[in-house]
Structure 1
Amino acid sequence: MTEQEQLHQAIASLEEQRPILGDAVVDTTITALQEKLSQLDQPTQNHLATKTAQRKQVSILFANITGMATVADSLPDTNILNLMNLLWRRLDSAITNQDGMIDKHMGEAVMGLFGVPVAHEDDAERAIRAALQMRAALSDFISARTRTDDQLSQTELGHLRGLQIRIGINTGPVMLGRVGSSDEYTVIGDAVNVASRLEKTAPPGGILIAHDTYMLVHDRFNVEPLGLITIRGRSEPIQVYLVLGIKPRLFYASGRGVEGVETRMVGRDAELKMLQGMLQQAVKDRVGQILTISGDAGVGKSRLVHEFNNWVRALPYEVPVFKGRTYQQISQLPFSLIRDILATYFEIQDNDSPVVAEEKLVQGMAQFMGQQTDDVRLRANIIGQLIGLDLSTKVQSLGQTGEAPQLRAAAYEYLATLFEVIAEHNSAVLLFLEDLHWSDDASLDFIRYLAESCQKAPLLIIGVTRPQDGQQTGGGYRERPLPGTKIHLENLSKEESQQLVVEILQKLPEIPTDLSDLILLQAEGNPFYVEELIKVLIEDGVIIAGQEQWQLRRNQLTEVRVPPNITSVLQGRLDRLTNMERLTLQRASVVGRVFWDTAVFQMNLAADEPLTHNQTRTALQALEKREMIFRRQSSGFAGTNAYVFKHAILHQVTYESVLLRARPIYHKQVADWLAQQSGERISEYAGTIAEHYELAEEKSTAAELYEMAGQRSQDTFNLEMATIYFCRSLALLTDMSHYALWQLRLQED
């Protein structure tokens, strides 16, 4: 569901919990949510209303109901229209509930988009969850109609039971914009065609996904490889997979790392020793501890926690481990993190009935609190009601009444007592909290209460979060971070990154310098980026991953594309920018990873919808505050400020989002600006200016400047670069006599 829909759902959920949370809490929270809702409505409308087309990675879902024509032929027109409206209402809800957008209906088919208008890190996962829900919704719809509709004949019921759904999902770059006389907002691109072909290939009742989608979700869903299929317009066939179902929830994603390679953790020994020391102190002194680990996405927070958890499991004494994760989709739901902690430990599934969920919670608590008694059941029911298991009638039937604040306080006390009892009967208790940056206020409030209550119990609470940039938080953690010790993980050093590359590529007979340099230059010390870049090299056939030994096709080692996983993370950040910030960042990316404010001023002023200097300056300040760019101490050009993108891949993803048709225009503007700024020193910047003119399709000007850059490199005895520039100049020349002279000169050199 969209973030707005999440807020609406959160408001509805709060109303349901008013009896236990109380009017004061509910009214205050709902007011805050409604303010947030009003703030969000405008940006989303801006995304859809803007006339500016966009390039971005999107997950596309095509679904088709088979057998609908037979049903339509056997029913009166009015009946079939009512039937289809009821059915599509359910199927469409499955898409929108996962934050998807209905692109269009086409008779018996629907096209849904995930990542539009705003991208999320898990759009591919949301698309598959929507597909599974659509399949279940169709089954439930058929069951309900065949049970209750006494106006249908046996033949008509048989036709209705024959309805099945085929679904195809693909993820890839598309162009978004408004097309046609109706000004319809839609997507165009090869990725759309592939998704449509997958739907037509899928078996009835089947969900097919392409390889790019599989690589984003293979640690979350069970799939069956179905081999290769051909797609019209594509020279190479694509691998497809049949989705079988959802994998059990995992705290540490098994999809991390490179398949077939076991690697040691690199560069986090000091932090691991700190965690070990804190647990040992908790065990020895019987005291509570709380620690927060922060760091950018992919920097290794989860891997550190995973290695610490492995160390704990190898201890000679038992330490119960509770784990909870916050999800962006439910970041506004009160106590969603606490619910996940208990659901994970006591194996309460999302589709468990209230009766089953209650029994799992009661039995789980009883194993720590003693035999099942009315008191344990009462405690479990009050806790269950707090976390949204809808056990209010159970609470009342057990004779527990009172005002909401008293019930809420009782739930806090019972939960804290549960952890204290577990700690008393064990050497220590561990509580891992992942993705606190998405956490709701109520969950964080309880965690603070728990830490305060268990100061004299060996409970070690470890939270994991990202630095807050004002874009990606449920609100609570940014405003009131948890107390206790803080660890911030920085990127790995060059030496540590090199060690990680050697670990992952251990099956290569040798690792050429150009291979490791290519990976290190792109990853810039981020372990996740290192892993994903190597995965892409394997997928693209540059590295052949054999069982015992790997091979490198060195002649194909030129550049590496941005992995879809990394694109998803960074695109989510780009889409949460304001329109002014996004356009400014996109135009800055055309200048280069290092760019100058006055160049962006000119580009923004020359745009179809111009931005003033003040607007651009405000956008740059906001981007700097979000730590997407940083100002450099020196500029190189008088009267300008130089900035640098925080990460090379962020720069690349931003540039890839710039429309293809707009790039030549922007590159021409940048080239003209650089030529003007460099003045008499143009030869120093000739290579860079030439590249911009080449991308602007100004070939003759680019050739002249490459020649100038080659001459300067030759004069400074950099013969390798001189040869490169002269060759690039030759490739652009159309004057054959000039071409022949340059060929002779190269041979002489």
Structure 2
Amino acid sequence: MAAGKRPRVATSSAGVGASHALTCSACGAVVPAGELVCPACGEPAVPAERKVVTVLFADLAGYTALAASMDPEEVFGAIRPWMTGLRLIVEEHGGTVPQVMGDGFMAVFGAPVAHEDDAERAVRAGLALVRHGHRLRIEDDPAFPGLHVGINTGEVIVGGSRESSGLAVVGDVVNISARLADMAAAGHVLVGAATRDLARGRIRYGRRQVRVVKGKAEPVPVYEAVGLQERVRSGSGSRKKADVAQVRVGPFVDRAAVLRRLSMELDRVARTGVARVRVVVDEPGVGKSRLVEELARRRSDALVMRGACLPYGQRLPLAALAEAITEQLGIRGDWSPARVRRAIAALR
């Protein structure tokens, strides 16, 4: 998977779209027109193409010591379910895992299926992997050694492969992702500058670091992904007031009755101490978000927390609520359950 020699791609002198023989990119043999597999080496006869993808590497921390302390059969019995659980998290976020390498794996976001937010999906997946590993170690399997993740975005060559995924990815982006995973401490996610630029709206990052990467002539800028970006900036104090970002929008008109009803519901919650749920439903583009923004702006006495339901990732009924509380309290994946409970209790 790592970048090595310049990849050969299937070529032909015939025009694009014509039925013609190809040259196998793996062994150089001629592949007859219409064949999907090279008759000489068995590699898929799919022409390689350039794509911009985000590559994620995840490795188990301390695997060498773990393997030395256990019987090979025990190591296999432990690692297989670990890797299966981690792979499923990647796939839930829209990624593909073309290669598993014993104590780690490579995942690709943007091939074979591309999404407009592949970089964000990859970083979210990396954070979810770390959280899963921490929970696994604390609650279910103390033998789990922890996980470190590296993510990078850029142009690669994507072609066919005999791997179960049918996908081969080659390029310097792959190398850098692997190096970032090596440099990341257990329970941490390091990303390249390109990934950070593409996924900076919803992800919080640490300060810019410059690291020396093996094989690179110049140091490489990297960032640690530390959590999801808060959408509402709050002031100081344990009971913070909502500080809605000021955006240039037109004046809020009409819908006074709906706004008044929502405000009354909020008063009722404050008076009784009993939680209530109100769902605003309407056609796309009519101003549901604008209505809620206006309510938050007018009720500066209320603490406003926000969470999102995404079209990918694990389908959890309370995911939006969990995200809202997590971001408000700054909860990280390495926090113990006791610390999380104390933080939630302090919010009340």
Task: State TM-score, norm by structure 2.
Answer: 0.58
Q: Confirm or deny: 8 A CA contact 1:282 1:289 kept in the other structure.
A: no
Other-structure match for 2:180 = 198
1:66-77 alignment runs, 5 A limit: 66-77=61-72
Other-structure match for 1:343 = 321
Which whole-Å deviations, capped at 9, do the CAs of 1:146-171 have from their partners, x for residues lacking one? 67xxxxxxxxxxxx47x232211111
1:165 to 147, 150, 154: 147
Other-structure match for 2:285 = 293
Q: Confirm or deny: 8 A CA contact 1:210 1:241 kept in the other structure.
A: yes
Q: Confirm or deny: 8 A CA contact 1:278 1:289 kept in the other structure.
A: no
Q: Confirm or deny: 8 A CA contact 2:94 2:109 kept in the other structure.
A: yes
1:277 to 225, 238, 253: 253
1:85 to 70, 80, 86: 80
2:116 alignment partner, SS class: coil
Letter in 1 for 2:321: A
Other-structure match for 1:566 = none
Other-structure match for 2:219 = 237
What is the total number of aligned residue pairs between the two structures? 261
Letter in 2 for 1:173: E
Letter in 1 for 2:154: G
2:125 alignment partner, SS class: helix
Q: Confirm or deny: 8 A CA contact 2:54 2:152 kept in the other structure.
A: yes
Runs of at least 5 residues in structure 1 that lack an aligned partner in the other structure: 1-48, 148-159, 252-261, 295-300, 365-749
Other-structure match for 1:128 = 123
Report the CA distance shift for 1:278/1:50 in structure 2 as closer, same or farther (over 3 A). farther
What is the Cα deviation at residue 101 of structure 1? 1.2
Q: Confirm or deny: 8 A CA contact 1:312 1:319 kept in the other structure.
A: no
Q: Confirm or deny: 8 A CA contact 2:92 2:312 kept in the other structure.
A: no
Report the CA distance shift for 1:117/1:250 in structure 2 as closer, same or farther (over 3 A). farther
Distance in 1 between residues matched to 2:300 and 2:186, nearest whole Å: 52
Distance in 1 between residues matched to 2:85 and 2:260, nearest whole Å: 56
What is the Cα deviation at residue 322 of structure 1? 10
Which whole-Å deviations, capped at 9, do the CAs of 1:331-357 have from their partners, x for residues lacking one? 9x79x7xx77x838x956699x9xx9x
1:181-260 alignment runs, 5 A limit: 185-232=167-214, 234-248=216-230
Distance in 2 between residues matched to 1:134 and 1:324, nearest whole Å: 20
Percent of aligned pairs with the same amino acid: 24
Other-structure match for 1:105 = 100
Report the CA distance shift for 1:310/1:230 in structure 2 as closer, same or farther (over 3 A). same
Q: Confirm or deny: 8 A CA contact 2:306 2:324 kept in the other structure.
A: no
Alignment pair present for 1:55 and 2:50:
yes
Report the CA distance shift for 1:320/1:230 in structure 2 as closer, same or farther (over 3 A). closer
Report the CA distance shift for 1:190/1:144 in structure 2 as closer, same or farther (over 3 A). same
Q: Confirm or deny: 8 A CA contact 2:89 2:128 kept in the other structure.
A: yes
Runs of at least 5 residues in structure 2 that lack an aligned partner in the other structure: 1-43, 234-244, 263-279, 332-336
What is the Cα deviation at residue 64 of structure 1? 1.6
Q: Confirm or deny: 8 A CA contact 1:175 1:187 kept in the other structure.
A: yes
Report the CA distance shift for 1:51/1:312 in structure 2 as closer, same or farther (over 3 A). same
What is the Cα deviation at residue 219 of structure 1? 3.3
1:118 to 113, 116, 122: 113
2:159 to 177, 186, 197: 177
Report the CA distance shift for 1:179/1:144 in structure 2 as closer, same or farther (over 3 A). same
Distance in 2 between residues matched to 1:324 and 1:182, nearest whole Å: 36
What is the Cα deviation at residue 198 of structure 1? 0.8
What is the Cα deviation at residue 228 of structure 1? 1.0
Other-structure match for 1:328 = 311
What is the Cα deviation at residue 316 of structure 1? 9.2
Other-structure match for 2:30 = none
Letter in 1 for 2:310: Y
Report the CA distance shift for 1:235/1:326 in structure 2 as closer, same or farther (over 3 A). same
Q: Which deviates the most, 208-217 or 224-233? A: 224-233
Report the CA distance shift for 1:225/1:277 in structure 2 as closer, same or farther (over 3 A). closer
Report the CA distance shift for 1:330/1:167 in structure 2 as closer, same or farther (over 3 A). closer
Distance in 2 between residues matched to 1:207 and 1:186, nearest whole Å: 24
Q: Confirm or deny: 8 A CA contact 2:152 2:195 kept in the other structure.
A: yes
Distance in 2 between residues matched to 1:203 and 1:315, nearest whole Å: 44
Letter in 2 for 1:329: Y
Give the structure with the larger helix fraction.
Answer: 1
Q: Confirm or deny: 8 A CA contact 1:170 1:192 kept in the other structure.
A: yes
Distance in 1 between residues matched to 2:87 and 2:51, nearest whole Å: 23
What is the Cα deviation at residue 79 of structure 1? 1.5
Letter in 1 for 2:311: Q
Aligned-residue Cα RMSD (Å) equals 4.7
Other-structure match for 1:500 = none
Between the two structures, name the one with larger relative contact order (CA 8 Å, sep ≥ 6). 2
Distance in 2 between residues matched to 1:214 and 1:56, nearest whole Å: 18
Report the CA distance shift for 1:72/1:121 in structure 2 as closer, same or farther (over 3 A). same
Distance in 1 between residues matched to 2:300 and 2:180, nearest whole Å: 52
Distance in 2 between residues matched to 1:319 and 1:219, nearest whole Å: 25
Q: Confirm or deny: 8 A CA contact 1:169 1:198 kept in the other structure.
A: yes
Q: Confirm or deny: 8 A CA contact 1:170 1:213 kept in the other structure.
A: yes
